[in-house]
Chains A and B, each alone.
Chain A
């Protein structure tokens, strides 16, 4: 790959689309992908574009009181920016909910103002 020009940079990422696991070298200008190398198929390019600002579905548990179990598993309703995960975990760690909890219940609304909710992924019965 050509050395990056003014205002450009390169990043190396592993493509996760198939078991080949190509190492992609991505040439970036700002948040725009200029070029992708190392991909062995077109899907690599699309993957590289998505990973410029990576987002992840956050999965954790939230404390429950008065329930058959002391925690409930949760996920974010949509993927959130990867960089905000530590911040999101701090917020979630301070939350506790009263049983009963039903899968699909919103546990945290509009997490960090991202327009994403934290929702329960299982039921916890009250005891």
Chain B
């Protein structure tokens, strides 16, 4: 006999929410809705992130037991997930560099901690071995902690892949849907109040990143706060040399892993993040500052013999990390509110831990509802990534163009992105310029979109059937125009002040 499915609402389609939705989509027992306030997935903490899959030696198991356990486990699961979901990842290993005896001692502590946490392959290497592993590592480094299991992933590709796979397995995605309240009756969850109406749910999983404490407050949970910690980054042109082949860390301090030098999976050298604790109500503060970028530059310079010229910088950006009270991840249910589970405080190594967090949430849910879960026979673990024209050989590209002529039309010159890829991205759910950008890399090259943004906007306008000026960069309020060219002459225009001379 078929049991009534349990309706689970996951708040937040970032790396945590998307991982949870994928895991829950495996079971017959759940009907999952994934609710996201932005116009696309992964646009919060997940997007502006270093993208490192950490080995797992950083986190002290006594102080941060969840971080310590879930990081190492997450690292293992990512190998399988990246494979199943066709997520670009590079298992390049990491080097934490020490420049003096004190730092070498810290590395020794980390080595033994890593071994306790179950990290494999860890060892301390001497100066000449560092150079063999990473020719551009600073010649001043006296030793390094080599962690061969560390990797580099594209965090937004990962979120997109997880959501696509979830949706293919029955999860319903609600974008541009902001949770305003959680309806509870007699201590039992009824559903979500959103800007787009009420969404019924039996269970709510809070994966809302930087806003997790605000969501928890909606059900009366006030046990923790989330404090935004801002990290600024600098990204170089793909052609900038020298790059690094490993992830380079400094010796960490008790509060931070420090500024990293790494090469993204797409081949851009990236340095960052800084770490600036912000006031609790600055949860949209992502500005780049001189002090932040100078700090990133100075710190990164110490890790390598040479950084590329500053003229090769193509972008800087900043992201927020959610620092929870107590410092450890908050993954738990509550006796006070039956039906609410937190997956909150996902500061570093949140990205690494995400798959393990998802399994843990699934297990908490199973134990709280107290029933054996039944796997879907039809569950599909696989998802294929979009074709990247630029990554193919001439003859492969030629063959592709023969299949569909639109592969021959290049819309983003710097990144060699074709019209067909843009159309494919739209088919897969992109509705904005940034949605296209994160799916295809259009606008991510030297010109940062100044020569191709309008071409993408034209395709979006045509495919979505909206006027060109209404095409947005990242959802409502970010449209590329305010109307047609003569809009300020229209009668009844409210903007008379703009025409004063």
State if A and B touch, Cβ cutoff 8 Å: yes
Give every chain B residue within 8 A of A93 (Cβ-Cβ): 486, 489
Task: Report the bound CA distance from A70 to B501 in whole Å.
Answer: 28
On whether the beta carbons of B501 and A63 are closer than 8 Å, the reply is: no
Instruction: Check if A19 is an interface residue, CB within 8 A of chain B.
Output: no
Instruction: Check if B484 is an interface residue, CB within 8 A of chain A.
Output: yes
New A-B contacts (10) at CB < 8 Å, excluding given A89-B489, A94-B489: A61-B485, A63-B484, A63-B485, A63-B486, A70-B484, A71-B485, A86-B501, A90-B489, A93-B486, A93-B489
Give every chain A residue within 8 A of B489 (Cβ-Cβ): 89-90, 93-94
Give the top 4 A-B pairs by smallest Cβ distance, nearest first: A93-B489, A93-B486, A61-B485, A71-B485
Give every chain B residue within 8 A of A71 (Cβ-Cβ): 485
Q: Mark A75-101, 1 if CB is under 8 A from B, else 0.
A: 000000000001001100110000000
Specify which of B484, B485, B486, B501 lies most central, judged by the most chain A CB atoms within 10 Å of its CB.
B486
Task: Report the bound CA distance from A89 to B501 in whole Å.
Answer: 14
Q: Mark A89-115, 1 if CB is under 8 A from B, else 0.
A: 110011000000000000000000000
Give every chain B residue within 8 A of A63 (Cβ-Cβ): 484-486
Nearest CB in chain A to that of B468: its residue: A70
Give every chain B residue within 8 A of A89 (Cβ-Cβ): 489
Tier of interface size on chain B: under 10
A73 nearest CB across to chain B (Å):
11
Task: Report the bound CA distance from A3 to B397 in whole Å.
Answer: 77
Tier of interface size on chain A: under 10
Complex interface residues of chain A between 30 and 65 (CB less than 8 A to chain B): 61, 63
Q: Mark B367-380, 1 if CB is under 8 A from A, else 0.
A: 00000000000000
10 A-B residue pairs with Cβ-Cβ distance under 8 Å, sorted by A, are A61-B485, A63-B486, A70-B484, A71-B485, A86-B501, A89-B489, A90-B489, A93-B486, A93-B489, A94-B489
B458 nearest CB across to chain A (Å):
11
Give every chain B residue within 8 A of A70 (Cβ-Cβ): 484
Task: Report the bound CA distance from A94 to B486 in whole Å.
Answer: 8
Specify which of A61, A86, A93 lies most central, judged by the most chain B CB atoms within 10 Å of its CB.
A93
B396 nearest CB across to chain A (Å):
33
A63 nearest CB across to chain B (Å):
6
Nearest CB in chain A to that of B499: its residue: A86
Task: Report the bound CA distance from A61 to B487 in whole Å.
Answer: 13
B482 nearest CB across to chain A (Å):
15
Give every chain B residue within 8 A of A94 (Cβ-Cβ): 489
B498 nearest CB across to chain A (Å):
13
A39 nearest CB across to chain B (Å):
29
Q: Mark B458-501, 1 if CB is under 8 A from A, else 0.
A: 00000000000000000000000000111001000000000001
Nearest CB in chain A to that of B489: its residue: A93
B501 nearest CB across to chain A (Å):
7
B202 nearest CB across to chain A (Å):
50
A110 nearest CB across to chain B (Å):
21
Nearest CB in chain A to that of B490: its residue: A93
Give every chain A residue within 8 A of B484 (Cβ-Cβ): 63, 70
B471 nearest CB across to chain A (Å):
14
Nearest CB in chain A to that of B488: its residue: A93
Give every chain B residue within 8 A of A90 (Cβ-Cβ): 489
Task: Report the bound CA distance from A61 to B485 in whole Å.
Answer: 8
B50 nearest CB across to chain A (Å):
43
Give every chain A residue within 8 A of B485 (Cβ-Cβ): 61, 63, 71
Task: Report the bound CA distance from A93 to B501 in whole Å.
Answer: 18
B490 nearest CB across to chain A (Å):
8
Q: Mark B398-441, 1 if CB is under 8 A from A, else 0.
A: 00000000000000000000000000000000000000000000
Nearest CB in chain A to that of B487: its residue: A93
Complex interface residues of chain B between 6 and 62 (CB less than 8 A to chain A): none
Task: Report the bound CA distance from A93 to B487 in whole Å.
Answer: 9
B486 nearest CB across to chain A (Å):
4
Task: Report the bound CA distance from A70 to B358 in whole Å.
Answer: 50
Nearest CB in chain B to that of A95: its residue: B486
Task: Report the bound CA distance from A90 to B489 in whole Å.
Answer: 7
Task: Report the bound CA distance from A63 to B484 in whole Å.
Answer: 9
Task: Report the bound CA distance from A71 to B489 in whole Å.
Answer: 16
Task: Report the bound CA distance from A70 to B469 in whole Å.
Answer: 12
Nearest CB in chain B to that of A60: its residue: B485
Task: Report the bound CA distance from A63 to B486 in whole Å.
Answer: 8
A78 nearest CB across to chain B (Å):
23
A90 nearest CB across to chain B (Å):
6
Give every chain A residue within 8 A of B501 (Cβ-Cβ): 86
Nearest CB in chain B to that of A96: its residue: B486
Task: Report the bound CA distance from A94 to B485 in whole Å.
Answer: 12
